[in-house]
A and B are shown apart, each in its own frame.
Chain A
Amino acid sequence: MTTTTAPVAAPAATHEAGSPSGLWSWLTTVDHKRIGVLYGVTAFIFFLIGGIEATLMRIQLAKPENTFVSPDVFNQLFTMHGTTMIFLAIMPLSASFFNFLVPLMIGARDVAFPRLNAFSYWVYLFGALFINASFFLGGAPNTGWFGYSNLTSSQFSPGHGVDFWAVGLQILGIASLAAGFNFIITIVNMRAPGMKLMRMPVFVWMTLVTSFLIILAFPVITVALVFLLFDRLTGTNFFQPAMGADPVLWQHLFWLFGHPEVYILILPAMGIVSEVLPTFSRKPLFGYPVVVYSGIFIGFMGWGVWSHHMFAVGLGPIADSFFALSTMLIAIPTGVKIFNWIATMWGGRVELKTAMLFAVGFISMFIMGGLSGFMHASPPADLQQTDTYFVVAHIHYVLFGGSMMGIFAGLYYWFPKMTGRMLDERLGKAHFWLTLIGMNVTFFPMHFVGLLGMPRRVYTYAPNMGFDAMNMMSTIGVFGIILALLFFIANVLKSRASGKPAGNDPWGGSTLEWAISSPPPPHNFGTIPTVHSLDPLWAKDGAEITRTAGQVRGPIHMPPGSIWPLVAALGMTMLMSGMVFGWYVGIPGLVIMLTGLYSWSFEPCD
């Protein structure tokens, strides 16, 4: 697809004329919407894989001294469950929304670097496949998702699992960095006329903050992983205590990345919820500037709290006090956001569509996760809670009750925009209620079993410890979540084929994406709208924007598809995987990568 010149009447016709179908068109696509769909589908599949890993662990822990999986497999499962959910599911699910929505919400035709965007996706896909290949090539990583040194040294982890993990995270980091830069540049440069920073939708703001966190946090873990790989592959001593190194260095580097990473996982969901709540309350977001500033403040403060993951390390009373106070401080902007969300609904006309139920569910569950987080912000209390199931409960209220509920809210909200069809509300509501009940049955007892002394990451427990009933309950809850997901999958499959047609704006939203057809044409906007207010479609000139947004008034230049981002991504993954597989994979990888980059650079763009 190159240039659309003729004005087109029916949006559906534009779609068909403009989007070639077939496998090749997907392999070469540089359309941010298609890349968004690719991200979403791939990440959801990895979400299911991570879910299967969790289910196997829960079956193992259903009763004491169970032998459903071996200890080593269990250790691989919890390592890969954490790694998968964080790096292969939630982050790319957020990226899926960034991709699909940011250009639409800011009134742009694509992201700033469409081919780099495709490159990000392919690197993510190949990196994800690489790290999971370890299951079949001698065993997956088994040192936990934060891989503490010196357990990860060749001495204590002689297999290749840790190499797969470290190289895989490096590969995934490149995907994240490329995407982070792409979205910052897109948001800074490509907004429609009149869309000042303080007129950007909150979701775009949160994308911007998240992207900054990504480009600043990933270099830190990159350095840590380079040290680790040097130690393992070339015999350096960055983390080797026998040679005088301090393995706590790893913890500082990892959590200096890791805590901003937590906000990378939650801020996009907060952005989604900040879009869903106003639409279904028929009322603008309450205190928009404060919600935006809180998000920025959370992103900023996320850099000053990392050692609250390390209260048991023994950093001394001054460090413990500092990190306790800075952590507690984050409760303020978080609380402010929650109050503003509630105030958005106050006095509104709250329509409890599935998207809205998930948004309210997000707030409700995130309060739980936030409050348990507040409890272990206090170091002495944390010393009884850290490394127990209490923390497992906390992280799942934040990431499942928080991030995933937010992502589901976004899916129900924007699915009509993505596909042109509505999701079924009855199946959706079943999905929501089962998720809410299932997750609480699963994770709520974990608070108690943790306070009653069950450490995390144990493949077995003794029968006389009082852990039995609560573990059985958690295991039963998982099947509620599985049932909920089956409803969701059935809903998507059914609605995609025969859902009610959505029209441009099924919910009466206020942001620009609702001004154009569903799904949007490849060029998004025929006429780029001029924005005069925060909620453009709810403003006086909203009807005018809606009327003109689809009109094509002249030639539109769109970048052609390209296979080279995929080739470069494949070559780069092979090159890096050579650190595990050997030079005979690495050298061909280098050649393929250079071919890809060279052809990409000299490919004509018109």
Chain B
Amino acid sequence: MTPSRRRSKPLRLAAGLLVLGALALAGCALKDYPQSTLTPHSDLAWAIQHLLEQLTFWVVLIFVLVEGMLIVTVMRFRSRPGSPEPKHVHGNTALEVAWTIAPALILTFVAVPTVLTIFKTQAKAPAGSLEVKVVGHQWWWEFQYPGQKIVTGSELHVPVGRTVALSLETADVIHSFWLPIVGGKRDVVPSRTNHIWFTADSVGVFPGTCAEFCGISHANMHMKLFVDTQKDFDAWVAAQQQPPIEPDSTSLAGKGKAMFLEVGCAACHTISGLSPGIIGPNLTHVGSRTSIAGSTYPNHPEYVSQWLANPQARKPGALMTNLGLKPDQIAALTAYVESLK
């Protein structure tokens, strides 16, 4: 083992540099990789990141050492003309004990912080956290703020610097709630309630997605996290708590409102004070959201009308019924939905 010991110092350095390099690359890349797991923006994500850094250090070190040993061995003992017949060695107890203990030691270095992090991150959320109930649906996320009496879909708003305690449930199959920027994923499982909590540390808009295969449009089950300043968050809450905007009944949006009740939208969608449906997303303030259809498309009249015309074309398997709407109905409904700021 002398050759590898001789090499171990520069190798350790090299391993360290590699880790740093990877992290530096990751650190400056949020703009290019908006869903990256390597750019933590919360206490939870940082706890994971610290563990990942240690793991990466050991893994890169072991990788370089063992692959190095393998290559050196193959090169050094490669058969050449006139190589002597090798001596038949059957084993060496001291060596074998050594390379059993070495990995065991490394394991201890990793196991201790692992267990500490598990218990730290899975402890009960601190009292006074902002509580949000997350419900996974095929194929969109619902967010309920019981304290604020707000229900919204696909876009989660939280204040920066305040702990948010999520309770996670599903309306149908297993999904996995994943906002990489604020922490690891957590499955939503029928007949169970899961928990996750985090304190976001910087303002911004970050993408997330469903991570557990949940049917044909699993790939289209996205969400957005808005980390707002406390002021912006309070303003958002106040706006969401308003009753829905009442359009002038002669306007296009007003016709859309009548249409909403007439063609059957009301059966699945809630608009506060207007309709009680709970199968699809709550639309009371849908016009204030930046995206539609499980955060797959921007909330723009063009996309909304395409969506209304044929939901399954924009999102395969979407459970929203294709009502066979006529262009004028679509125009009116689009105007109404877009008015619900």
Please give the residue numbers on chain A whose beta carbons come within 8 Å of chain B beta carbons, in ascending order: 70-72, 75, 142-144, 148, 150-151, 156, 241, 244-248, 281-284, 286-290, 312-314, 316-317, 320-321, 324-325, 328-329, 331-332, 335-336, 338-340, 342-343, 345-352, 360, 363-364, 367-368, 371-372, 374-375, 378-388, 451-461, 464-466, 538
Contact = CB atoms under 8 A, between A and B. Distances in A.
Contact of B186 (A71, A148, A312, A455): A312
Given A312-B186, A352-B74, A453-B36, A380 B110 contact: no
B95 interface: yes
B96 interface: yes
A332 B216 contact: no
Contacts of A312: 176, 184-187, 211-212
B202 to A, nearest CB: 17
Contact of B189 (A247, A290, A363, A457): A247
Contact of B52 (A316, A372, A384, A466): A384
Contact of A317 (B29, B87, B118): B118
B211 A455 contact: yes
B213 interface: yes
Instruction: Give the interface size bracket for B toward A.
Output: 35 or more
Contact of A371 (B62, B70, B114, B210): B62
Interface string B249-277: 00000000000000000000000000000
Contacts of B115: 321, 324-325
Contacts of A351: 79
A451 B77 contact: no
A383 to B, nearest CB: 2
A44 to B, nearest CB: 28
Contacts of A71: 216-217, 219, 316-317
Interface stretch (B100-108, B127-135, B147-155, B300-308): B100-108
A284 to B, nearest CB: 5
B192 interface: yes
Contact of B190 (A241, A380, A382): A241
B86 A349 contact: yes
Given A283-B88, A336-B96, A349-B85, A451 B36 contact: yes
Given A72-B316, A286-B89, A331-B107, A388 B211 contact: yes
Contact of A342 (B70, B87, B92): B70
Identify the 10 closest CB pairs spanning chains A and B, nearest first: A383-B184, A453-B35, A241-B190, A458-B219, A287-B91, A466-B33, A384-B37, A314-B194, A387-B211, A241-B191
25 contacts: A71-B316, A148-B213, A151-B214, A246-B192, A282-B85, A283-B88, A287-B96, A312-B185, A312-B212, A314-B194, A316-B122, A336-B96, A336-B100, A338-B66, A345-B74, A352-B74, A360-B74, A374-B110, A379-B114, A387-B178, A451-B37, A451-B38, A452-B29, A465-B35, A538-B88
A283 B121 CA distance: 51
Contact of A345 (B32, B73, B100, B207): B73
Contacts of A379: 114, 118
Contacts of B186: 312, 314, 383
Given A349-B85, A380-B121, A150 B174 contact: yes
Given A371-B59, A452-B38, A156 B213 contact: no
Given A324-B118, A380-B184, A458-B219, A368 B77 contact: no
Contact of A378 (B89, B110, B122): B110
A367 B69 CA distance: 12
B192 A349 contact: no
Nearest to B104: A332
Contacts of B63: 367-368, 371
Contacts of B220: 460
A380 B51 contact: yes
A348 B91 CA distance: 13
A343 B70 CA distance: 9
Given A332-B103, A379-B118, A380-B51, 8 more contacts: A142-B216, A148-B174, A246-B192, A287-B92, A360-B70, A364-B70, A367-B70, A465-B34
A458 B111 CA distance: 33
A287 B97 CA distance: 11
Interface in B158-217: 172-174, 176, 178, 180, 183-187, 189-192, 194-195, 207, 209-217
Contact of B218 (A246, A371, A458): A458
A144 B77 contact: no
A465 to B, nearest CB: 6
B173 A383 contact: no
Counting chain B CB atoms within 10 Å of each CB, which of A241, A316, A348 scores highest? A348
A456 B185 CA distance: 13
Nearest to A464: B34
A363 B103 contact: no
A244 to B, nearest CB: 7
A156 B317 CA distance: 11
A151 B173 contact: yes
B77 A348 contact: yes
A387 B77 contact: no
Contacts of B216: 71-72, 75, 142
Contacts of A247: 174, 189-191
Interface in B207-244: 207, 209-220
Given A332-B100, A371-B59, A452-B35, A144 B213 contact: yes
Contacts of A460: 219-220
Given A151-B174, A287-B92, A384 B190 contact: no
Contacts of B11: none
Contacts of B217: 71
B6 interface: no
Given A287-B91, A374-B55, A387-B211, A150 B176 contact: no
Identify which of A317, A378, A464 gathers the most chain B CB atoms within 10 Å of its CB: A378
Nearest to A250: B174
Given A151-B214, A374-B59, A380-B117, A248 B189 contact: yes
B67 interface: yes
Contacts of A342: 66, 69-70, 73
A251 to B, nearest CB: 9
Nearest to B119: A317
Nearest to A310: B187
B173 A281 contact: no
A324 B114 contact: yes
Contacts of A288: 90-91
B320 interface: no
B5 interface: no
Given A283-B88, A348-B86, A453-B35, A331 B103 contact: yes
A142 B117 CA distance: 36
B3 to A, nearest CB: 10
B333 interface: no
Given A364-B67, A378-B51, A384 B185 contact: yes
Nearest to A353: B79
Given A384-B48, A387-B212, A350 B89 contact: no
A317 to B, nearest CB: 4
A151 B29 CA distance: 36
Nearest to A239: B190
A329 B26 CA distance: 30
A393 to B, nearest CB: 13
Contacts of A151: 173-174, 213-215
Nearest to B99: A339
A384 B45 CA distance: 9
Nearest to A283: B86
A452 B37 contact: yes
A317 B47 CA distance: 15
A336 B95 CA distance: 10
Given A312-B187, A320-B118, A281 B107 contact: no
A368 B207 CA distance: 30
B195 to A, nearest CB: 7
Contacts of B326: none
B245 to A, nearest CB: 31
B111 A281 contact: no
